[in-house]
Amino acid sequence: MTRTGYALAILASVVLAAAARAQINQTASADDTARFLAGMQVSANSPLIPLAQDPIAKQHAAYFDTAFGNLEQVRLGKIRAWSAENLKSPSPVMFYMFGGPDFLYADAFFPSAETYVLSGLEPVGQIPDLMRMPRWSALQGLQHIQGSLRSVLSVSYFITVDMFRDLNSGPISGTLPILYVFLARSGKVVHDVSLVHLDENGVLQPGAGLQPWMPARGAKISFSANNGPMKTLYYFSTNLGDDRSRNNPLLQFCKLFGRGDSFIKSASYLLHMPNFSQTRNFLLNRSALILQDDSGIPLTYFDPARWQLRAYGRYVTPIFPVYYQTKLDDFYRRTEPSPIDFGVGYRWRPNESNLLLAIRDPNAPETTSSIAPEPAPAPQPQYRPRPKVEEPPFPFFPFFPFGPPP
């Protein structure tokens, strides 16, 4: 190589290194990151524009345009119309226990909430910084996000095994990328994202927390709908099972908001179990309204002196018949429930879904414990014959404190 050629090679390497350092020093905004992960157009001056032009990113955008377009037409648009018709006096706070990062349905059913508190077992992960990732790594993350959302985009609930596999095997991990996608695809502008955690007393603390045994790690996201008011979304990774030695930190944190609206969907029937009494009692005592499918609180826990109940849809045998509710079946037979034109929950196919709307009497006192439930079902419960329906995919429950149901 000549002296001139050698000098040009050195100059080229210096230029490339400087360009790489400049890219690393650039930071994409939280909103541009959310829009990129969601397959949507980023802002005109975003440093993510070159990445968004990659064929893999364009394929990702096309896939999500189709998937979310279908979801809006088949389900979310109908849910919003139903909510506007039936949830007339929503609270400013919305609790969604056991929902994981499912902001899509939280927003569709409760669009006017100012504060959303979501929780699940799935880990939060780190705040994605796409500009500090190798190009191939960021693009690979898009493919993992597609895989993790496949079930919720088609059948309305997460298959936990899929989400754990896809979001913990890629470079963009945890539930934060899912929340980013759902916020962007719901038309929200993401302003700020921070990691938080709760201490033993349920007090919100900054950062993820240093101890591996922190009771609840989470994220706090500030967002708005276009030019609307600022709203807050909290997601916490925590176990809501009973711990007799202490009060649950997440429930203590939620008490600070006063009464709110609660939503329960595809909740693994955990609130049917005796070792979720603290969460069940919290929801019954601290909710102005509870909207749930049959995987939520069994009907027998609702005191008719405190709750006005309305049934929607159709109650069919649960995917696990051991959780069949005689009282709920009788209630549906007596009350001529209003139909719903969308699927939701484990029974997501048309004419198989159910929703129970429980509106609390504002003058009713709080209780310290639930009323007595029905006796625990037998291993092979007897129930009335129901029309045969096709089974949905197995929901892959997050965990079973007493082993899987019979």
Residues 162-200 pLDDT 10s: 555 555 666 788 899 999 999 999 999 999 999 999 999
Contacts of 350 (CB under 8 A, 6+ apart): 341, 343
Ranking 52-56, 123-127, 327-331 by mean pLDDT, the lowest is 123-127
| 3-class DSSP assignment, residue 383 | coil
DSSP H or E run through 354: strand 354-360
Q: Indicate whether 201 pLDDT > 50.
A: yes
Residue 395 identity (one-letter amino acid): P
Report pLDDT for 342: 93
Distance CA 405, CA 380 (A): 10
- Tens of pLDDT, residue by residue over 335-394, are 989 999 999 989 888 789 999 999 998 877 765 444 444 444 433 333 333 333 344 444
Contacts of 377 (CB under 8 A, 6+ apart): 322, 323, 324
Cβ-count burial 159-171 (b if 16+ within 10 Å, e if not): bbebbbebbeebe
**390, 345 in Cβ contact below 8 A?**
no
Report pLDDT for 211: 67
Q: Indicate whether 146 pLDDT > 80.
A: yes
Report pLDDT for 50: 96
- For 381, the token pair is 């419960």
Distance CA 73, CA 390 (A): 23
> How much is the pTM?
0.84
Task: Over range 16-34, report the average pLDDT.
Answer: 67
Report pLDDT for 401: 36
**DSSP letters spanning 244-303:** TTS--HHHHHHHTT-SEEEEE-S-TTGGGSGGGHHHHHHHHHHEEEEEE-TTSS-GGGS-
Separate counts of helices (H) and strands (E) for the chain:
12, 10
How do beta strands 260-264 and 93-96 pair? parallel
Q: Which residue has the tokens 């649950």?
A: 248
- Tens of pLDDT, residue by residue over 294-317, are 999 999 999 999 999 999 999 999
Report pLDDT for 212: 64
Top-ranked range on mean pLDDT: pick from 98-102, 151-155, 288-292? 288-292
Contacts of 300 (CB under 8 A, 6+ apart): 325, 327, 371, 372, 373, 374
How do beta strands 93-96 and 115-120 pair? parallel
- Tens of pLDDT, residue by residue over 30-62, are 999 999 999 999 999 999 999 999 999 999 999
Distance CA 328, CA 340 (A): 17
Distance CA 262, CA 235 (A): 15
Residue 293 CA from chain centroid, whole number: 15
Report pLDDT for 3: 57
Top-ranked range on mean pLDDT: pick from 254-258, 360-364, 384-388, 398-402? 254-258
Task: Over range 119-140, report the average pLDDT.
Answer: 91
Name which of 282, 235, 286 is nearest 258 in CA terms: 286
Task: Over range 209-218, report the average pLDDT.
Answer: 77
- Of 376 and 119, the structure prediction assigns the larger pLDDT to 119
Contacts of 58 (CB under 8 A, 6+ apart): 52
Q: Indicate whether 405 pLDDT > 80.
A: no
Q: Indicate whether 22 pLDDT > 50.
A: no
Task: Over range 83-109, report the average pLDDT.
Answer: 95
Report pLDDT for 208: 81
Distance CA 46, CA 28 (A): 7
